[in-house]
Structure 1
Amino acid sequence: MGDQTTKTAMMFTLRDAAAADLPAITEIYRESVLNGVATYEVTPPTEAEMMLRLTTITGSGYPYLAALDERGVVLGYAYASAFRTRTAYRFLVEDSVYLAPVARGKGIGRALLEELVSRCTALGFRQMVAVIGGAHPSSIALHRAVGFEHQGLMKATGFKHGRWLDTAIMQRPLGEGMDTPPTEGVYPDTLYRNAP
């Protein structure tokens, strides 16, 4: 008989990210900055900078989630943010999903992304876009599994780890998508509230 590999299920829960999660979130992101292509940052931000990012995102009304194991260890995180800051983009959000190396390939990224889609739909957003650094195959597969479709590929958009990186763009509708006009009244208290 040949070798058999079994995938062990990892128990986890999802909740809103909190300040107490920042050391683990900062470490997960640091690993991605130094070793991955999901982000085009090349210098890992400090925990203070990551706290500022979390409070800016949540303070603008966007969801920021954490996945924790049964011991309370952060396995990954995901958040939605503005794709662009011009007012007409206000019903479009961009997702970001980051996982600790031990948590990859265990369904945690999918659970985070599905919850992000659900929360953003409930908030009244109509489209979600993924800007996938390095056109990373695992991230593309994750987004495809959650209903995203490939919209384009921008060639040689980043240079990291001694090579040029492409950026894949994927998108999925939220709620009624473009089938009906948006309802302004259900829009969350985001940075666009007082935009010109």
Structure 2
Amino acid sequence: MLNVSPAGAAVAGQRPRGHLRAVGTEPSQHGIEVQLTVNGTPHQLELDTRTTLLDLLREHLHLTGTKKGCDHGQCGACTILLDGRRVLSCLSLAASHDGADITTIEGLSREEQLHPMQRAFIDHDGFQCGYCTPGQICSAIGMLQEWKAGWPSMVTMEGTEHHPHLDIADLRERMAGNLCRCSAYPNIRDAILDVARHSA
């Protein structure tokens, strides 16, 4: 089931990434050992090979900030940062990411200081019910990193003139995978653009 070891840090440093060891003592024949760093804390876990990152975070590590929305990769509520890149945790098997560094909404703040994106969402009232907000924030952080690195979007690939600042059409395209049932999009947009302007 679950074996979270504080000593996992030393073990994690000794074992090469990508090495998985089947757990023979598991009642299920699908048991496997996975080592992950989540929000800066190393964890060594024995999991069913079919466990998604979303279920690992919520059910095993009790980090419930990452939300289970559609569980089909269509709403973006489960978005996390995996080795710095945004991914849908409901579609990602934990066993495929042995040794990975994961950041969830709980791990964005530092020494009780909110991440600039979290602060911007509050300042611009970028949420209503708040269910999609963790995924929106994690996706926005990953999206800005992609934009700064020059990754294209459908908007930029269509020959739109490059802007020194993230424009609204490009932002909408890049964040299209994150849905908000409350339709708080104008405020979400303003929050992301505010962070983009101050970090350019």
- TM-score normalised according to structure 1 size: 0.25
Which protein shows a greater Rg?
2
* TM-score using structure 2 length: 0.25
Structure having the higher helix fraction is 2
